[in-house]
Amino acid sequence: MMMLLPMGVPGVCPKHVRAWTQEEDEILLRMHGKKNAVEIAGMLHKRTPGAVRVRFACLRDLYPGKIKPLNYRFTPKDDRFIRRHCLTMSAAELGAHIGVGVNAVRQYASRNGIRLSKCGDYHPQTKYPDSDVELIRQLRDEYNLKFREIGEKFEMSAKSCAWIYAYRQTATDAIIRELLP
């Protein structure tokens, strides 16, 4: 049986591998989370995206406080907060409260069946309040008023009145939609 000698010299970087310099490590730390591995590799000459990813893994072990993983793990407390406030807060507000990005909140909500769409008074561009919508529906259903007559009372066109009657969702509709399967 043949005995193989260990290759290389301990403590010396092999010829085909360049050691990472302090400047390169500082660039990696500064660009973490702002650019992806391909863009960072373009900034660092003669470094591949794979080498950048491996170096990030090494730096993450060396400096656990400086480099946080980009994939945030949502806790049950975060889940409860998102579910409780998904109808009233935007994804940006939810992310700012939890400490993650907007896209992370959107992806988490999408994967877990949480709707972040706003309806009724909770929508930031609501023109007519939910109370007006309910009154329009009541006037049409109970008193059989025409949309033209209802529109005159609310100073809006008959088309707008008909659209509000048929399609406008209130905050109550959004809550009911969340509770039903």
Average pLDDT value for residue range 45-49 = 88
Assign 3-class secondary structure to 76-95.
HHHHHHHHHHCCCCCHHHHH
Q: What is the pLDDT of residue 81?
A: 97
Q: pTM of the prediction?
A: 0.59
Cα 113 → chain centroid: 14
pLDDT at 150: 96
Quote the pLDDT of residue 75.
Answer: 93
- Average the pLDDT over 151-159 and give the result: 95
Determine the pLDDT at residue 6: 77
pLDDT band at 12 (very low <50, low <70, confident <90, very high): confident
Residue 16, pLDDT > 80, answer no
pLDDT band, very low/low/confident/very high, at 115 (cuts 50, 70, 90): very high
The residues, any chain, with a CB within 8 Å of residue 134's CB and separated by 6 or more, are 170
Joined together, the tokens standing for residue 76 give 């049950």
